[in-house]
Structure 1
Amino acid sequence: MNIQLALDRMSIQEAIDMARLTEPYIDWIEVGTSLIKEFGMASVEAMKREFPHKVIVADVKTFDNAKYEFELCYKAGADVATVMGAAPLVTVDLSMKTARIWDRQVMIDLLHTMPEEQAALARYWEAVHCLHVSKDQQEGGGSRLAGPGAYGAALDGAPGSAGESPAELRIAAAGGITLESLPGLMAMKPEVLIVGSAITKAPDPAAAARAFQDRIRELGRR
């Protein structure tokens, strides 16, 4: 299980400094949507230059023009780029095709998707499917991702061949994740846990990241 550090609403240098503090305890580094919107692909380039050994996620949340946007991300050094699951399937399909050409990865953000959409997206078994409670939902309604919730269809897996069981999808979880919410999330068997403010806004971010790593290992032994 990988810890993805989400870096948002800060400068490029602040993002680099935060990643440097927590580097021993994280696996993937997310160049957040706000960081990319404010500073462009320079933010992705800087993060890959500083952390070439880490998986760099460009959270562009593509909804259209997938080939162009994904090529921007991959040229800048991103290992993973994100597309919205609510986008037209042709857009998701172009994201996947572009990733294959570049030998990179896709994360499909399932924010605001319906079960039938999640079921249709299960065909993209190579992608990471991200179960997501948005920032606005967290701040406006007090919602956090604490379990499968509305994402049952996504967790059912990709369709198998005739007579075969569905393949387990690669799952990521995001949305106000805390140490306390980890036990409920482990049942989803996420490949990636995306953590933002619980680490970045902690008094000691390095200690907070280490606590996540320790707790995940503890729960994994049970």
Structure 2
Amino acid sequence: MPRLQIALDTYDLPSALAPLAAAADEIDVIECGTILILAEGMDAVRAMRAAHPDKQILADVRIAEAGSKIARMCFEAGANLVSCVAGASLATINQVCQVAAEFGGEVQVELADEWYDAERARQWRDLGVQHVIVKRSRDREAAGDLSWKPEDIGRVDELAEMGFTVTVTGGITPADLPVFAGHPVGIVIAGRSIVAADDPREAAHTLRCAMNEVWPR
């Protein structure tokens, strides 16, 4: 059964904390999104940790270089996971993994629409990366492409076979989930569909129910 992750990509802490408080009982992983961290810095991570000490927290900083310094900032602020971009050097990824091991944390790499290299992914796994994101990007959505392509599903299967926990994201709603039935998705990320909902708790509950139908226990 995949975990449910909420992506908080608001421009300030109050607009992130309010929907999170409403939906928290349905959420497994809290993502301090890139936009939120750019706006509020590591205070965003500290605030989430203080408000929800029992939840896993991802600092979605998309590390591209200075891996050890940025990763240490995130873990010291209370994150359990940090993210790297797929184009980061192996040296950077290795630095992040070493700091993560020191803190008992985990590392995630986010694939880009145009970037996938299976051999490179195996090297990430060898270095200690635990998670990989397969995404339908905002740019793809903006271009009117709301589909999940066969190559997206193929990547989920291939990466899971390598030993990664595979996360799917990109404007996900309950209607998107059946395409992943029978495939080893480990985490489902939802942002706007929960955060912008009139009732975030109900939106998260509806998504959780849809996940239960697609991946029955």
Give the TM-score of the pair, scaled to structure 2. Answer: 0.90
Higher relative contact order (CA 8 A, sep 6+): 2
3-state DSSP class of the match of 1:193?
strand
* Cα pair distance change 1:53/1:176, threshold 3 Å: same
Distance 1:194 1:145 in 2: 16
Aligned residues: 213
- The equivalent of 1:155 in structure 2 is 157
SS at match of 1:122: helix
2:143 maps to 141
Aligned partner of 2:131 in structure 1 is 128
Q: Distance in 1 between matches of 2:35 and 2:97?
A: 23
Q: Return the alpha-carbon distance in structure 1 between the equivalents of residues 153 and 62 of structure 2.
A: 19
Deviation at 1:150, TM superposition (A): 4.5
1:176 to 168, 171, 177: 171
Whether the aligned pair in 2 keeps the contact of 1:55 and 1:79 (CA below 8 Å) is yes
Counterpart of 2:38 in structure 1 is: 37
- Whole-angstrom distance in 2 between the partners of 1:154 and 1:87: 21
- Deviation (angstroms), 1:145: 6.0
| Structure 1 alignment gaps of length 5 or more | 159-165
- Residue by residue, what CA displacement relative to the aligned partner does 1:107-146 show, whole Å, maximum 9, x if unpaired? 1101245332x431233334111012222322x2123463
The answer on whether the counterparts of 1:106 and 1:128 sit within 8 Å (CA) in structure 2 is yes
Which moves more between the two structures, 180-189 or 148-157?
148-157
Q: What percentage of residue pairs aligned between the two structures are identical?
A: 26
User: Which one has the bigger helix percentage?
Assistant: 2
Deviation for aligned residue 1:15 = 1.0
Contact (CA 8 Å) 1:122, 1:169: kept in 2 or not? no
- Give 1:95-134 correspondences, 5 Å limit: 95-112=96-113, 114-116=115-117, 118-125=118-125, 126-134=129-137
Does the CA contact (< 8 Å) of 2:136 and 2:148 recur in 1? no
* Structure-2 separation of matches of 1:100 and 1:151: 30
Q: CA RMSD in A?
A: 2.0
State the distance in 1 between where 2:174 and 2:159 align.
26
